Amino acid sequence: MSTEFPPYSPQTIKVRTIPIGSLEGVASIHKIHSVRITWVDLVNGTRFRVLPLKSFQRLLASSRPGITIAQCVFGFVVNRTASGFGPIGEYLYVVDLTSMRLCSYAPGHISVMGWFQDKAPAPDRVLGTGVPMCPRSALNRIVDTAKSYNAAFLVGFETEFILLKSTNPIEAVNPHGWNSAQALRSGTKETEVIEEIARGLINSRIELMMYHSEAAPGQYEIVTGPLPPLEAADALVHTRETITNVASKHGFRATFAPRLNLDNCGSAAHTHISVHPIDDEPSSQLTSDNPLTPLESTFLAGLLKHLPATCAFTLPLRASYARMLDGIWSGGTWVAWGRDNREAPVRLCVPPAFVDPEPASNAPSKNHFEVKCIDGTSSPYLVLASLIGSGLLGIQSQAPLVEKDCATPAAQMTEAEREAVGVRQRMPLSWEDARAALEGDQVLKNVLGGIVEGFLSVGEILDDILRSPASEAERVQMLVEYY
């Protein structure tokens, strides 16, 4: 095996952002004049403030380099403020210099993420730690906790979106479908857009694994490589910004809306998670009957137990549930897992047998889980915090995996057949069901902390706004303009 391309693992992955010490050189080479200090709110809105490079460099000279932002930042949706978010108080948004990336879609700009922190010490918190409402801090805290249980993670994303040439009426750029050569013909505007997105991601030092057309008219998918969870979420935000901005530059609208028409496929944000021991775990011979390591098994047990509650974050809109149906390869409506089963919300992706036909009992697993019940209207930080937090609960309690490998779509099984493989729990079938599941899952809420109540409050406001148009066509138009 080439040493240039070692197997993916937390030890071999390199996060290729702009090195902190090379900012001056990068600024000179790429003619950088502006820095976008960027964050993602609780309803997955990307926000930023632009600082001239010299102002940013002056900021870096301070003891806590950051900008002040009103504490209602997390409760503000369009022109309304959710309950519990008032006009008093400010946070300091401290920049995370390890997250800097070139904005290929905006020449002369780089972006940087950060941490929301208290301006002054709070009675119950250490100055310099993230506040409970900060999504990046919540994810970072959960990942750090998992390390003390000998668990590390890598995350990769499939980003599906539809290119529209009109939002009123809704009109896709072409009628072509899955992997169709006609969807990427040379000389077409959509091919120019997709190729520019691909080059932009590479130039931003995000690993682009592949791209192709998807099943719905004008639909495409961008697949990016695995990274540690926080860095993966940052990279997904940058990927989505690259997609939407390049499309806008060419007069198109890129939408991540879950499903535009019931007679066509929806758009997902399938999330691939691999679970790795930091130190060697007890030997476990992986076989066709036992494809999971002990760590993977307990992680999966926790994930499945809390999966209905996580859907409040992974499928955050009413529109999300038009995609999560049985029989359309979107993950189905039963809590289940299965090897290469696209009708299960958690698909176990097992490497081809020819890669390692007789693995050693202590060889690291090459498995990963694809979580399908996620769409592009969700915040990647909240998604990963809830999914990894759920798996962490299983690891902490050494939970037994009740559900067996689901080799047949659960919706096609009889009740007795589902019982035989431990499939007893339904996925939420609506926005209300998912929120109720989250509100009732006190254990997961404890893991996530105070961010849950803020998320639920802001979600009510967004739901009111998205339901306000009188007609279904107007509601879909508003959805694609927001997402």
What confidence tens digit (pLDDT) does each residue in 1-33 have?
A: 456 777 888 888 877 777 766 778 788 888 999
When mean pLDDT is compared across 84-88, 234-238, 252-256, the lowest value belongs to 84-88
Q: Residue for token digits 């107007």?
A: 474
For the chain, what percentages of helix, strand and coil (3-state, to nearest 5) are there? 35, 20, 45
Q: Which of 399, 396, 386, 366 is nearest to 444 (CA)?
A: 386
pLDDT for residue 420 is more than 70:
yes
pLDDT for residue 146 is more than 80:
yes
pLDDT for residue 288 is more than 80:
no
Q: Using one digit for the tens of pLDDT, what is the confidence trace for 302-315?
A: 999 999 999 999 99
H helix or E strand, kind and range, residue 481 = helix 472-482
Mean pLDDT on 289-298: 89
Q: Which of 253, 257, 370 is nearest to 318 (CA)?
A: 257
Q: What domains lie within the chain, and their CATH numbers?
A: 20-131 (3.10.20.70), 144-482 (3.30.590.10)
Assigned token pair, 100: 């800097």
Assigned token pair, 291: 């494809």
Torsion sign over Cα 180, 185, 188, 192: positive
Assigned token pair, 340: 């290469």
Q: Which of 274, 379, 275, 266 is nearest to 331 (CA)?
A: 266
Distances (CA, A) of 163 to 185, 189, 483: 15, 11, 12
Structural contact between residues 398 and 322, judged by C-beta atoms closer than 8 angstroms: no
Which of 4-8, 221-225, 469-473 has maximum average pLDDT?
221-225
Distances (CA, A) of 344 to 75, 265, 299, 348: 34, 17, 17, 9
Structural contact between residues 278 and 378, judged by C-beta atoms closer than 8 angstroms: no
Torsion sign over Cα 467, 472, 477, 480: positive
CA separation for the pair 76, 79 (Å, rounded): 7
Q: What is the pLDDT of residue 90?
A: 92
Mean pLDDT on 184-213: 96
When mean pLDDT is compared across 81-85, 279-283, 356-360, 362-366, the lowest value belongs to 356-360
Torsion sign over Cα 75, 76, 82, 83: positive
What's the DSSP call for residue 329?
T
CA separation for the pair 457, 450 (Å, rounded): 12
Where does 194-336 show beta strands of DSSP type E? 208-213, 219-227, 253-255, 271-277
Strand 337-339 to 346-349 pairing: parallel
**169 cis-preceded (ω within 30 degrees of 0):** yes
Percent pLDDT > 70 in the chain is: 95
Q: Residue for token digits 């999504």?
A: 135
Q: What is the pLDDT of residue 46?
A: 96
Assigned token pair, 324: 């999560």
Q: What is the pLDDT of residue 359?
A: 53
Q: What is the pLDDT of residue 354?
A: 42
